[in-house]
Amino acid sequence: MTSALNDIKILDLSRVLAGPVCTQILGDLGADVIKIEKPGAGDDTRHWGPPFLKDKDGNDTTESAYYLSANRNKKSVAIDIKTKKGQELIHKLLTQSDVLIQNFKKDGLEKYGLGYEQIKQKHPHIVYCSITGFGQSGPLSSEPGYDYLAQAMGGLMAITGEPDGQPMKVGVALSDVMTGLYAAIGILSALHAREKTSKGQLVDLALLDCTLASLTNVAQYYLTSGQSAPRMGNAHSTIVPYQTFKTSDGYIILAIGNDGQFKKFCDFAGHPEWAKDEQFSTNKARVLNRDDLIPLLSKTIAEKPAAHWIDGLRQADVPCGPVNTIDKVFEMEQVQAREMEIAMSHALSPEALKLVGSPLKLSDTPPQYTHAPPILGQDTKEVLENLLGLSEEETLALEKTGIIETSKI
């Protein structure tokens, strides 16, 4: 076995980010992912640019950076699921699939005969993953869901941003990403259960649920105390010092998680007396007296450049680091050593396409990168003819009526 999931076939009806994040993870681990897209349009994110991938003449292609970020290791098959013939093709594909994943609104696929109960009747082995804003139950279940809404309604925005500023969304669609991660876990769990029961099941994911779950200690802060955790900006509600500090030439972060680390910091900073002061000697005391401590730390840290603190504190085993821009992140030897930047050939690009690598490092079945993010309909002909046994004449007839689309490249 060279890939952990090389015996799993996934029919991916999802688009935008949460579903594609999930299926890219599973595809990296060897699953055969067939991405079903709308002929003539494809995944919405294909058009979410600039920036776009450049062709050999330096012109923009139709492949946006957003789309490229979450769609490698998939085959693109363009089928119009609104048509009866298109639905028939989906059902034929399901006979050879293990998983169906979709992120339509609740009951959005029933009119096409592709809802969970309909699939369950015809294909009881299918693990059916549904990603929606609010899940399959509850008073908001029929409402459309978006990452931005989930961040706002799930409490994430309320705790993000400066204490005296407005609530702030996270810089990436984190509710979508986290839901994709939970979806992958749910699908793998359902597949494991199927080994014992031979039956698939519904994996019901909601952006709101996953956002709330991601709040972890901040959500528990409320459940334990009855008080909402305060918005702390770059500081921490229950650990001090754990925030950004300005040096003489930039910003660093200190992430001091225990009293021993605080003592080491004080010794390096030339103020061992701080660690002996009852106001600051324990984390509890530092949290209660942060308004007295932080100005002292800020004044001292501002006197020296970032490198002084990063190099010195690293040697002292005190968590400290730079606040990197994205270009600096990819320049890090650590990032390169971990193969977090990869390159793949792409049908439209004269140069290797650079992508973010998988963070999963498995000793025996590592992620493999076999298929660059596909152009729309790139694999329609291959899948329908080789997997379903359609003739070339049948494929051409389907394309003429607009039921499918095949790539000309």
Catalytic site positions: 176
DSSP string, 130-153: EEESS-SSSTTTTS---HHHHHHH
Single-letter code of the amino acid located at 211: T
Q: Which of 47, 8, 53, 46 is nearest to 26 (CA)?
A: 8
Spatial separation of the C-alpha atoms in residues 197 and 330, rounded to whole Å: 45
The pairing of strands 341-344 and 320-322 is unpaired
DSSP 158: G
How many Cα atoms are found within 13 Å in the side-chain-facing hemisphere of 348?
Answer: 20
Q: First vs last Cα of the chain: how many Å apart?
A: 32
- Residue with structure tokens 């050999």? 56
Spatial separation of the C-alpha atoms in residues 170 and 166, rounded to whole Å: 13
Q: How many CB atoms lie within 10 A of CB 142?
A: 14
CB 211, CB 155: distance < 8 Å: yes
Q: How many CB atoms lie within 10 A of CB 332?
A: 13
Spatial separation of the C-alpha atoms in residues 390 and 381, rounded to whole Å: 9
DSSP 80: -
259-266 CB contacts, 8 Å cutoff, 24+ apart: 259/283, 261/317, 261/318, 261/319, 262/286, 264/313, 264/316, 264/317, 264/318, 265/241, 265/313, 265/316, 265/318
By three-state DSSP, how is residue 8 classified?
Answer: coil
Spatial separation of the C-alpha atoms in residues 379 and 76, rounded to whole Å: 5
By three-state DSSP, how is residue 19 classified?
Answer: helix
**β-bridge mates for residue 131, sequence order:** 205
Spatial separation of the C-alpha atoms in residues 329 and 406, rounded to whole Å: 38
Spatial separation of the C-alpha atoms in residues 401 and 34, rounded to whole Å: 22
Residues 6+ apart with CB under 8 A from 226: none
